[in-house]
Amino acid sequence: MVWFRTATLMSLLLLGLYIQSGILIEANGSIRSYEKKVIGEYVIGLGTTPPSPSMGVTHFAAFVENEQTGNKYVDAEIEFVSFFSAIDLPEVGPELMKNSIMDPMYYEIDTSFDKEGVWFVMLTVRRGGDEVSVVYEVEVQKPNPIVPILTVGTLLFFLAILSLSLRSWIKEYRRKYKIRKV
């Protein structure tokens, strides 16, 4: 009976992790570096999570700051458009980037890339009566298949250790219980 409960619990935990995996990718990771470009009086920075985007969902964060003072603007309107090559029509966008809930000085958007290669991301910043545009190059790579394989292997290894430990504990518990009865 104990094995059935344990197997049911582990199955439910693994099912929950599998279902949540699609949601967890939407979380805002820490963007360690921003590519900054100076356009007019603005410094516009763009960063991605993961740092080396692969096919699938990528999180973009941008900021707009004054070149002279270094103050970041919270009232800018940033339009996001991405192209696979310079000739193509926009494949993503135009979409407005929204202020981050955690830090309103940053603007965020999640988008999905379906092809590997060089993508061009154009940000159009509107503030007051000004409108400036800047283009960034983003190289989208094939995802590395080794990482998920190692992750699953490590998880199975720890589950095996946990199940063997639980098995030995149950054997010891039953032995003590039988001794007490006699």
Higher-scoring residue by pLDDT: 47, 86 = 47
pLDDT score recorded for residue 105: 87
pLDDT score recorded for residue 19: 63
Q: Tokens representing 36?
A: 């900054």
When pLDDT is averaged across residues 8-22 and rounded to a whole number, the result is 68
Q: How many CB atoms neighbour CB 126 within 10 A? A: 15
The band of 181, judged by pLDDT with boundaries at 50, 70 and 90, is low
Higher-scoring residue by pLDDT: 96, 24 = 96
The band of 86, judged by pLDDT with boundaries at 50, 70 and 90, is low
pLDDT score recorded for residue 131: 92
pLDDT digits (tens, 9 = 90+) for 16-64: 666 655 444 433 457 888 999 999 899 999 999 888 888 888 899 999 9
When pLDDT is averaged across residues 146-159 and rounded to a whole number, the result is 90
When pLDDT is averaged across residues 157-168 and rounded to a whole number, the result is 92
Higher-scoring residue by pLDDT: 177, 87 = 177
- Give backbone dihedrals phi and psi of 53, rounded to 5 degrees, phi first: -60, 145
Under 8 Å between Cβ of 85 and 103: no
Q: Is the pLDDT of residue 123 over 90?
A: yes
ω before 50 within 30° of 0 (cis)? yes
Q: What is the mean pLDDT of the chain?
A: 83
pLDDT score recorded for residue 28: 45
Q: Is the pLDDT of residue 150 over 70?
A: yes
Q: Is the pLDDT of residue 145 over 60?
A: yes
Higher-scoring residue by pLDDT: 121, 89 = 121
Under 8 Å between Cβ of 45 and 62: yes
- Spatial CA neighbour of 133 closest among 171, 88, 77, 91: 77
